Amino acid sequence: MSELPYKIVIGLEVHVQLATQSKLFCRCSTQFGAPPNTQTCPVCSGMPGALPVLNREAYRMAVRAALALNCEIPEFTKWDRKQYYYPDLPKGYQISQFDLPMSQHGHLAISDPKNRFEPKRVGIIRAHLEEDAGKSMHDEQAGTADSRIDLNRCGTPLLEIVSEPEMYSPEEAKAYLTELKLLLTYLEVSDCNMQEGSLRVDANVNLHIPDPEAADGPPIATPIVEVKNMNSFRAVERALHYEADRQWEVWQESHQRLGDVPKQTRGWDENAEITRGQRSKEESSDYRYFPDPDLVPVVMSAKETAEIRNQLGELPAALRKRLEETYGIKPYDSDVLVNQGRALVDYYIELAEQCGDGKLASNWVQQDVLRLLNEREISIDDYAVRPSAFAELLAKVQDGKLDTSRGREVLAEMIEAGLSVADAMEKLGIAEVDDSELVELCQSLIAANPKIVADIQAGNLKAAGALIGQAKKQNPNVNPSRVRELCIELSSEAS
Ligand code: ZN
Ligand code: MN
């Protein structure tokens, strides 16, 4: 990283909707996109006297995520009411967790295949479960400033994951979010769809500036700003860059320190690419938390926690390591593959096993398979060529019967016409060239190119490349590595 006159300090607060069928304290559906207010009941719409009952499945899902984040799971936790007034919160409070969260003291390991920062662990202060609020819909199209409320989202289970302020660049923050999303997706606890609001990010950011009057003393910390309203990881990265620059300018003019002013909340304006001041942030005392008298505390036995831990399965970090160790691929490549999700990794593993060359399989999957999946917006399950047929094709590439570009042509036929390797090669007129025919061809090339032959004789073996090109022009089916071999052999014999 370039040398900045300050250190950026970032902590992230992520809200993730859990992928349960029903809500956290009632049986209403959590399905996204239903007509407004069709998935509500007296409990989630806040009718007086309606009683909430915990959805145990949501709780187990939250524990699953917390364990994967290396958190401690206490055997006892409870629910608290967080009071605030907003039109999309009909009860006037959110059921959340205050002093006894369902998990705490975890960490998430992040690294950067591009080496912009050293691999590190980011601490997780806590992860707790709470209910979501509804949505305000502003009818800007009609131009009437007409706002309506949709309560379908009210009561959807949310896992709030709070990191330590331990990320020191926008790139680290983005890597944390990317890894967190990947982990939660592998765990199948959330679809993490930012567009639909299943994953929402708030970022706390300030600067630590070396004290010019006490070089060995603690750095000067500028006031912390909470940035909201970012709807992609890219937006988070850009908002943090902007905010660091802005805080540096404010510091140079005002010399405001942490404690001089209350914590400020600013919203990211995607179009203007700036953050704008919003209401000042409530302190937790403003929420007047108190235990929810309608809900019993949750008891989670060590046995049940252990059971959930045993069912976590192979998580992204372990999977990357296995791919690198078993198939000899680089961290950059294992990262690309694992980021595509488990189904693609399974496809890759099957291919690597069958063709016996993990690097070759990785190259073809990344360059050819992924490109097509992206172009057609399909998943690996809909990819026409199964690993066994793909491995057959790679075997032809491995023993030199096909070079990469001809291999691609064959693959295209296999995809478009659903042909086997053999049929695709026949259709393209790719026939194996008899070795005696090849010897004849090379002899004629040697005779016609004395200058190149002299080069090869002088030890410049690269010169043989020109002969391969000529051979392919005469017969596109020739095996380039065999042509090279023959040309070098025949050159040494030539006078
Ligand atoms: Zn309900
Ligand atoms: Mn929250």
DSSP 373-423: HHHHT--GGG-SS-HHHHHHHHHHHHTTSS-HHHHHHHHHHHHHH---HHH
Q: How far is the CA of 223 from the centre of ligand 2 (A)?
A: 22
Q: How far is the CA of 96 from the centre of ligand 2 (A)?
A: 7
Q: How far apart are CA 373 and CA 386, in angstroms?
A: 14
Return the pLDDT at 143.
63
Q: How far is the CA of 119 from the centre of ligand 1 (A)?
A: 44
3-state secondary structure at position 276: strand
Which of the ligands is closest to the CA of residue 98?
Answer: 2
Which of the ligands is closest to the CA of residue 15?
Answer: 2
Q: How far is the CA of 407 from the centre of ligand 2 (A)?
A: 53
Q: What angle do CA 299, 303, 307 make, to 5 degrees?
A: 110
Return the pLDDT at 438.
87
Q: How far is the CA of 22 from the centre of ligand 1 (A)?
A: 8
Return the pLDDT at 155.
98
| Cα dihedral across residues 64, 65, 70, 76: positive or negative | negative
Which of the ligands is closest to the CA of residue 43?
Answer: 1
Q: How far apart are CA 201 and CA 167, in angstroms?
A: 14
Q: How far is the CA of 97 from the centre of ligand 2 (A)?
A: 9
Q: How far is the CA of 57 from the centre of ligand 1 (A)?
A: 16
Q: How far is the CA of 151 from the centre of ligand 1 (A)?
A: 9
Which of the ligands is closest to the CA of residue 161?
Answer: 2
Which of the ligands is closest to the CA of residue 27?
Answer: 1
Averaged pLDDT, groups of 10, the chain, 495 residues long: 85 98 98 95 94 97 98 97 93 96 98 90 98 86 76 97 97 97 97 93 96 88 94 96 96 90 90 88 76 96 97 96 97 95 96 96 96 94 95 91 88 93 89 83 91 90 88 84 87 79
Q: How far is the CA of 42 from the centre of ligand 1 (A)?
A: 6
Return the pLDDT at 281.
53
Return the pLDDT at 149.
93
Are the C-beta atoms of 222 and 254 separated by less than 8 Å?
Answer: no
Domains of the chain by residue range: 7-307, 312-428, 435-494
